[in-house]
Amino acid sequence: MIPELGNFALALACCLALAQAVVGIWGAQRRDIRLMAATPGLAVGQFLALATAAGALVWAAVHDDFSVANIAENSAIAKPLMYKISGCWGNHEGSILLWGLILSICGAAVSLAGRNLPSGLRARVLGVLGGTSCGFLLFALTTSNPFLRIWPPPADGQGMNPLLQDPGLAFHPPILYTGYVGFAVPFAFAVAALIEGRIDAAWGRWVRPWALTSWAFLTCGIALGSWWAYYELGWGGYWFWDPVENASLMPWLTGTALVHSAIVVEKRESLKIWTVLLAIGTFSLSLSGTFLVRSGILNSVHSFANDPARGIFILALLALVIGGSLLLFALRAPRLSSGGIFAPISREGALVLNNILLCSICAVVVVGTMYPPFADLLLGQKISVGAPFFNATVLPLAIPLFAAMAVGPLLPWKRAKLMPIVEHAWWAALAAVIVTGACTIGMKILPALAFGFATWIILGSFAEVVERVLLFRTPVASSFRRARGLPIAVLGAAIAHAGMGVTLAGLAGAALDSQKIVSAKVGQTFSSGGYEWTLMKLEDADGPNYTSRMATIYVKKDGVPVVLMHPSRRNFTAQHQTTSDVAISTNLLRDLYAVLGEEHDGQAVLRLHVNVLAPWIWLGAFTMAIGGAISLSDRRLRVGAPSRARPDAVTA
Amino acid sequence: MTRKHRRLVVVLACMAGLGSAAALTLNAFSNTMVFFMTPADLAEKNPPPGQTVRLGGMVEAGSLKRTIEDGEPGATFRVTDGKSAVTVAYTGILPDLFREGQGVVALGSLLPDHSFHAQEVLAKHDETYMPKDVADALKKRGYWKEGQKPPATKAAGS
């Protein structure tokens, strides 16, 4: 009964979304106040209906209702409760439902937080969100319904892929999807602005918090995914340039560009047309990322052949959303007036450079990701591009970006001179040169350069803060007073930029890694990466739904005990699948990383890594997201909204 | 600076950015593109030693030997597509899903003695235990059809 309720709620949400689209756009076109006032209610209703549907699916999973096909295929009685819940969004049907739910949350948030938006703009934004939502809910209902029943129900489900049975993966999809779907709001604002034919500084101020929020979530989502790959897959790597990862990187790159170009719209009323195009492009990449690459439709011609309805529906929907918005852009963009003039060397100029480089990087990632499947589909050529391709293309474009990153925030708006910048940032540049020089001793040139750039970005990010508080040039108390008066957005930007530097240092640390594969008897000792690793014992250690072999490795450095590590190999009986449970011991400067391989003739294969600075990769990403969150709390993003009655309503 | 000048500078900067992106892409494509081949393709096209290719096929039943070289464990096994077969040497831990008689993809290059040195062995596949590329290649060559037992036995005439 509950799954039928979920099915009904899903269908109801689809109808409400359609109503939201029609009422919102048509009502705003007719300037009908009653229709426009009805859209927020419809958006909240759609959210409630989808929350009910998601709740019903979770209920079915928790109660092991194997008459629901989706639960029977992806769950099992022996599965721990947490994974029964998180498993709901680990499969295709469930993830589409999660997608719709997050989109409806965005709609409800715009309804509630956007009370002081002009009513026409709000109705159009909600209308566009409703239309997008309606399309994808229709897709869920017709081709990927999670509530379909099977008869007779099996006694037990098939269980989830053991690799997905992991706490990191329980939180990864909701966070990543919030990042993806959140960009629907800037997209809706862009389309609404195109329909209205008007963009001003206020538009930039309304769009930026949404773009920034989605960007912060996407950053966290990508970092969590890469962290999961690092500790779960047991290869010691964290980024494989595979299509699923690239699918999240592409909207991140254009989203980063959007966050920056929206500043120019807000402050200088310039780059308006470009920002609208970025908003459309970012959401288009999110969409094609989730639906073409993640669903495997492009990667495997099989899933097309197995289920043509699904493939054709999704292609038609993507063509409608992306093509429609681009067509609207082509028709309406010339009507948008261009804004203020600026010199090439200025804050605007630096942000334009940032946008050009980020979009160029995105373009090469798009080509590298999309070309192989298209070559297979159209030319029948089986080719692949891997890390060497992306390293050769992304790195040369990233270097000028890193170099410019620390300088940009120091430049004043409109026109600037380079000389004052040199006066403000020379110490960061000097430190970077010293670090690079020190690193070239015993290191290759590329990692040394990366460490240098990391130093430059981290120190240079705070150059503006240092400059503004007149550190060391006035008494400390005066500096402190100035620091308290600093706009929070400046601090947020500095922290986010520094986070990028921290991540870069973590990536460069890979050059100092060491790894050793050994075949070990119990009691044997190996030395690798400056540590002595002793295999103490091998034993059985069974879990709730798996059997397992666990090794105990005693790690010492120069005779001093460091840590006991317990890597294991798990055999999931229901799926006949073996996974490696990696043992990681970190002190934030390096990870000790041990993997247990197969056992033959009393000898176990062990893989022992020392990964230098590896934790910094994810720490840096979370720092970036925190920087974004701090920027969001800036009062300047809130004040100046049309109504002063509820000054905090625009953000949220 | 006039509006026209500014626009010119921006357009030039865009062209420089996208132009270098295009140049880098084309250059990287010619150097790093990796082709997928079965053992029969290897025999026909005979890529020069050192060129990286993705070799796909079935692991010949009974051909897997575990080796230990300089204390590092490794393995040699033969990969077949039913027509020809090639010996693959690999140092490292074979993936958890590696089995004799099942599909495999090895990333590596030919050595001058026509054996294959793998840097990476992938055994990632769906419930039918066939990597997609391998299944497609074997089907195209007519050695395997969906639902049949895969040609894991010794290749004829090799």
Chosen from B8, B18, B31, B34 to mutate, greatest number of chain A CBs within 10 A: B34
pLDDT-derived band of residue A645, with 50, 70 and 90 as boundaries? Answer: very low
Residues facing residue A94 across a β-bridge: none
Q: Is A643 a residue whose pLDDT tops 70?
A: no
**B64 in contact with A, Cβ within 8 Å:** no
Residue A281 is predicted with a pLDDT of 96
Asked if A391 and A289 count as a contact pair (C-beta separation under 8 A), the reply is no
**B34 in contact with A, Cβ within 8 Å:** yes
Chosen from B25, B41, B100 to mutate, greatest number of chain A CBs within 10 A: B25
**A392 in contact with B, Cβ within 8 Å:** yes
How near does any CA of chain A get to the CA of B145, in Å?
14
Asked if A218 and A179 count as a contact pair (C-beta separation under 8 A), the reply is yes
Residue A6 is predicted with a pLDDT of 96
pLDDT tens string A261-297:
999 998 888 888 999 999 999 999 998 887 776 566 5
Residues 165-184, chain A: which have Cβ within 8 Å of B? none
Surface-to-core class of residue A476, CB atoms within 10 Å of its CB (0-12 exposed, 13-18 middle, 19+ buried): exposed
How near does any CA of chain B get to the CA of A356, in Å?
6
Asked if B99 and B129 count as a contact pair (C-beta separation under 8 A), the reply is yes
SS3 A633: coil
B35 to chain A: closest CA residue = A383
Residue A637 is predicted with a pLDDT of 56
**B54 in contact with A, Cβ within 8 Å:** yes
Put simply, the answer to whether A384 touches B20 (Cβ < 8 Å) is: no
With beta carbons under 8 A apart, name residues in chain B contacting A367. 25
**B147 in contact with A, Cβ within 8 Å:** no
Residues 279-338, chain A: which have Cβ within 8 Å of B? 299-302
Residue B48 is predicted with a pLDDT of 84
Residues ≥6 apart with Cβ < 8 Å to A124? A24, A25, A28, A188, A191, A192, A195, A196
How near does any CA of chain B get to the CA of A102, in Å?
30
Residue A495 is predicted with a pLDDT of 95
With beta carbons under 8 A apart, name residues in chain B contacting A363. 18, 21, 25
SS3 A612: strand
Put simply, the answer to whether B24 touches A392 (Cβ < 8 Å) is: yes
Put simply, the answer to whether B32 touches A344 (Cβ < 8 Å) is: no
What's the average model confidence in pLDDT over A599-620? 90
Residue A307 is predicted with a pLDDT of 64
Residue B157 is predicted with a pLDDT of 35
Put simply, the answer to whether B31 touches A393 (Cβ < 8 Å) is: no
pLDDT tens string A377-435:
788 777 888 888 998 999 999 999 999 998 888 888 888 888 888 888 888 999 999 99
What span, in angstroms and rounded, lies between the C-alpha atoms of A69 and B52?
A: 43
User: Amino acid identity of A13?
Assistant: A
**B46 in contact with A, Cβ within 8 Å:** no
Task: Give the closest of B25, B91, B137 to A364, CB-based.
Answer: B25
> Degrees (nearest 5) of the Cα angle A532, A443, A236?
50
**B100 in contact with A, Cβ within 8 Å:** no
pLDDT tens string A466-475:
888 877 777 8
Put simply, the answer to whether A352 touches B10 (Cβ < 8 Å) is: yes
CA distances from A438 to A123, A225, A509, A595 (A): 59, 33, 14, 33
Phi/psi at A422 (5° precision):
-60, -40
Put simply, the answer to whether A382 touches B36 (Cβ < 8 Å) is: yes
How near does any CA of chain B get to the CA of A357, in Å?
6
Task: Give the closest of B18, B33, B91 to A383, CB-based.
Answer: B33
Task: Out of A136-145, A368-377, B102-111, B139-148, pick the least confident.
Answer: B139-148
Put simply, the answer to whether A360 touches B91 (Cβ < 8 Å) is: no
Task: Out of A79-88, A323-332, A638-647, pick the least confident.
Answer: A638-647
pLDDT tens string A543-561:
877 889 999 999 999 989 9
CB pairs under 8 A between A and B: 114
Residue A641 is predicted with a pLDDT of 43
**A145 in contact with B, Cβ within 8 Å:** no
How near does any CA of chain B get to the CA of A518, in Å?
5
Share of chain B above pLDDT 70, in %: 77
pLDDT tens string A483-503:
887 888 889 999 999 999 999
Torsion sign, CA atoms B136, B138, B140, B143: negative
Residue B46 is predicted with a pLDDT of 83
With beta carbons under 8 A apart, name residues in chain A contacting B107. 386
pLDDT tens string A556-586:
999 899 999 999 988 887 777 778 889 999 9
What's the average model confidence in pLDDT over A13-28? 96
Put simply, the answer to whether A361 touches B36 (Cβ < 8 Å) is: no
How near does any CA of chain B get to the CA of A365, in Å?
9
* pLDDT, greater one: B102 or A522: A522
Residue A90 is predicted with a pLDDT of 80
Put simply, the answer to whether B93 touches A598 (Cβ < 8 Å) is: yes
pLDDT tens string A90-111:
888 888 999 999 999 999 999 9
Task: Give the closest of B24, B35, B71 to A382, CB-based.
Answer: B35
Share of chain B above pLDDT 90, in %: 6
Which of A292, A283, A284 has its CA nearest to residue A314?
A: A292
Detail the DSSP E strand segments found in A276-346.
none
Residue A541 is predicted with a pLDDT of 85
Put simply, the answer to whether A341 touches B27 (Cβ < 8 Å) is: no
* pLDDT, greater one: B102 or A50: A50
CA distances from A372 to A111, A298, A523, A618, B53 (A): 42, 10, 48, 29, 14
pLDDT tens string B65-94:
888 877 778 889 999 888 888 999 998 878
Chosen from B31, B33, B45 to mutate, greatest number of chain A CBs within 10 A: B33
SS3 A170: helix
With beta carbons under 8 A apart, name residues in chain A contacting B70. none
Q: Is A114 a residue whose pLDDT tops 80?
A: yes
Residue A639 is predicted with a pLDDT of 42
Average pLDDT of chain A is 87
Put simply, the answer to whether A344 touches B9 (Cβ < 8 Å) is: yes
Which of A155, A56, A154, A157 has its CA nearest to residue A97?
A: A56
Task: Give the closest of B10, B21, B93 to A397, CB-based.
Answer: B21
Put simply, the answer to whether A392 touches B97 (Cβ < 8 Å) is: no
**A76 in contact with B, Cβ within 8 Å:** no
Put simply, the answer to whether B96 touches A600 (Cβ < 8 Å) is: no
Q: Is A644 a residue whose pLDDT tops 60?
A: no
Q: Is B96 a residue whose pLDDT tops 80?
A: no
pLDDT tens string A318-350:
899 999 999 999 998 888 776 667 788 888 889
ipTM score here?
Answer: 0.77
Put simply, the answer to whether A388 touches B17 (Cβ < 8 Å) is: no
B72 to chain A: closest CA residue = A518
**B11 in contact with A, Cβ within 8 Å:** no
Chosen from A384, A394, A519, A601 to mutate, greatest number of chain B CBs within 10 A: A384
With beta carbons under 8 A apart, name residues in chain B contacting A359. 17-18
pLDDT tens string A167-202:
877 788 899 999 999 999 999 999 999 999 888 888
Compute CA A414 distance to the chain's CA centroid, rounded to the nearest angstrom. Answer: 33
Put simply, the answer to whether B32 touches A360 (Cβ < 8 Å) is: no
With beta carbons under 8 A apart, name residues in chain A contacting B66. 600
**B91 in contact with A, Cβ within 8 Å:** yes
Residue A382 is predicted with a pLDDT of 79
